[in-house]
Amino acid sequence: MKVLVTGGTGYIGSHTCVELIEAGHTPIVLDNLYNSSAEALHRVAQITGQEVPFYEGDVRDEALLRQIFDAHRDIGCVIHFAGLKAVGESVQKPLDYYENNLSSTMALCRVMGQYGVKKIIFSSSATVYSADNEIPYREDSRIGGCTSPYGWSKFMCEQILRDIANADPQWSVVLLRYFNPVGAHPSGLIGEDPRGIPNNLMPFISQTAIGKREVLSIFGNDYPTPDGTGVRDYIHVVDLARGHVAAVDYLTAHTGEAVFNLGTGTPCSVLEMVHAFEKANGVTVPYIFAPRRSGDLPAYYADPAKSCETLGWKAELNVIDMCRDTWHWQSKNPNGYDA
Ligand code: NAD
Ligand code: UD1
């Protein structure tokens, strides 16, 4: 199937292009390169032997969207990754986040409807779950009470898409709630290329291991967790990408709205991740304990049972795979996609 992939030069989008091609699909990418490099798609072509048609532009540009749907009359569904995703920045610039993330989703759905393409997979996040849920989070756990404009923008996009599916029974909407995506393609050709100082744990660990950062600050060692450090559900980006391929199959056979967790269901603490990285790669990651980071939860992870039963998808790769593949990418590309 021909699949329009918005945000397809980004971290998760580029890995998903690889898995789509390997499953026999044909991705077409639209991205404004705000947070990514077109080099990622050259690397996808190196991995798969297939060039990916690329449109540089903004998802909010409806004329451009129409141009794409006119040029590719056989697009069967859309995977919508494009969006701004830095939690801290969203607190500083809420309007930018609401404007970009909501307007792009609405423009996209409007034009999809005009062309009769009514199948969409949306990148949501575990951040939409209320902090007062019991863990693990299930798809029917409470949502809302988000702690950042970024989180609310995902919550609101989910609602917009749910309403579209309610209004027109021809629509098929899949909301995928990602837990903590990490790792890189095993080729070391594509991976996460954060701009500036990384906010997230795994890129900070790998930049510390390679000497770009002096020391990792572990935010909090007095949480009510087995070793006192924060616990999350890290998922290998290749497993996550394969979850999208399973969702494409699901979309072709169903209408209405469905939501799925994409996580492993295996909790992992910050200290466990640091030690796994050292063991997998034979490197040292210097760390210090620092105060808790404001807004962080002690622990959360997914119940992935519904994805397994309904999508027939389950994460196969473990924390050692995640650490090995992150390091392979980092050491092959110390400056990311910049030569
Ligand atoms: P990314 O920043 O690497 O990819 C997003 C891509 O969207 C970038 O290439 C960016 O240039 C593009 N983009 C942004 N706004 C655009 C617009 N208006 N028009 C066209 N292109 C635009 O991020 P990622 O980690 O690959 O995340 C992909 C999606 O998954 C995002 O929606 C993100 O919110 C969501 N998500 C990510 C994580 C994570 O930890 N990485 C977790 C949960 C959900
Ligand atoms: C954050 C976002 C979440 C987003 C996710 C993407 C917040 C509150 N949540 O989640 O919305 O979907 O990123 O992956 O920002 N840690 C350190 N030192 C560091 C960095 C992180 O100890 O330098 C710890 C954190 O305290 C946390 C764990 O590592 O316990 C994971 O942090 P991170 O990778 O930032 O992800 P989340 O906070 O889970």
For residue 296, give both structure tokens: 């962080």
Q: How far apart are CA 302 and CA 8, in angstroms?
A: 25
Residues with CB under 6 A from ligand 1: 6-7, 9-13, 31-36, 58-60, 81-85, 100, 104, 123, 125, 178, 181
Percent of the chain with pLDDT over 90: 98
Mutate-to-test residue for ligand 1 from 85, 109, 239, highest number of ligand atoms within 8 A of CB: 85
As to burial, measured by CB atoms within 10 angstroms (0-12 exposed, 13-18 middle, 19+ buried), residue 116 is: exposed
| Mean pLDDT (whole number) for 119-126 | 98
| Mean pLDDT (whole number) for 231-236 | 98
pTM above 0.75, yes or no: yes
Q: How far apart are CA 242 and CA 71, in angstroms?
A: 27
Give me the pLDDT at residue 47, please.
98
| Beta-strand relationship, 287-290 and 119-125 | unpaired
SS3 133: coil
Is a pLDDT exceeding 90 seen at residue 338?
A: no
pLDDT band of 124, cuts 50, 70, 90: very high
For residue 13, give both structure tokens: 């989008």
Q: How far apart are CA 55 and CA 68, in angstroms?
A: 8
For residue 306, give both structure tokens: 């519904």
Residues 36 and 107: beta-carbon distance below 8 Å: no
Is a pLDDT exceeding 80 seen at residue 101?
A: yes
In this structure, what are the phi and psi dihedrals at residue 3, rounded to the nearest 5 degrees?
-125, 120
Give me the pLDDT at residue 274, please.
98
In this predicted model, what pLDDT tens digit does every residue of 18-42 receive, in sequence order?
A: 999 999 999 999 999 999 999 999 9
Side-chain half-sphere CA neighbours of 61 within 13 A: 12
Integer CA distances (angstroms), 131 to 127, 163, 302, in order: 9, 25, 13
Q: How far apart are CA 77 and CA 88, in angstroms?
A: 32
| Mean pLDDT (whole number) for 121-146 | 97
Name the E strands within 26-134: 26-31, 54-56, 75-80, 119-125
Greatest CA separation for the chain: 57
Which residue's alpha carbon is at the smallest distance from atom 34 of ligand 2? 200
For residue 4, give both structure tokens: 């329009």
Is a pLDDT exceeding 90 seen at residue 131?
A: yes
Which residue's alpha carbon is at the smallest distance from atom 13 of ligand 2? 200
| Mean pLDDT (whole number) for 172-195 | 97
SS3 282: coil
| Mean pLDDT (whole number) for 325-329 | 98
Give me the pLDDT at residue 2, please.
98
For residue 268, give both structure tokens: 């992992």
In this predicted model, what pLDDT tens digit does every residue of 279-289 receive, in sequence order?
A: 999 999 999 99
Which residue's alpha carbon is at the smallest distance from atom 27 of ligand 2? 230
Distance in Å, CA 149 to ligand 1 centroid? 15
pLDDT averaged over every residue in the chain: 97
Distance in Å, CA 146 to ligand 2 centroid? 15
Distance in Å, CA 83 to ligand 2 centroid? 18
Give me the pLDDT at residue 195, please.
87
Is a pLDDT exceeding 80 seen at residue 339?
A: no
Positions annotated as catalytic residues are 150
SS3 77: strand
Residues with CB under 6 A from ligand 2: 87, 125, 127, 151, 180, 199-201, 204, 216-219, 230, 232, 270, 293, 295-296
For the CA of 34, the nearest atom of ligand 1: 11
| Mean pLDDT (whole number) for 215-222 | 98
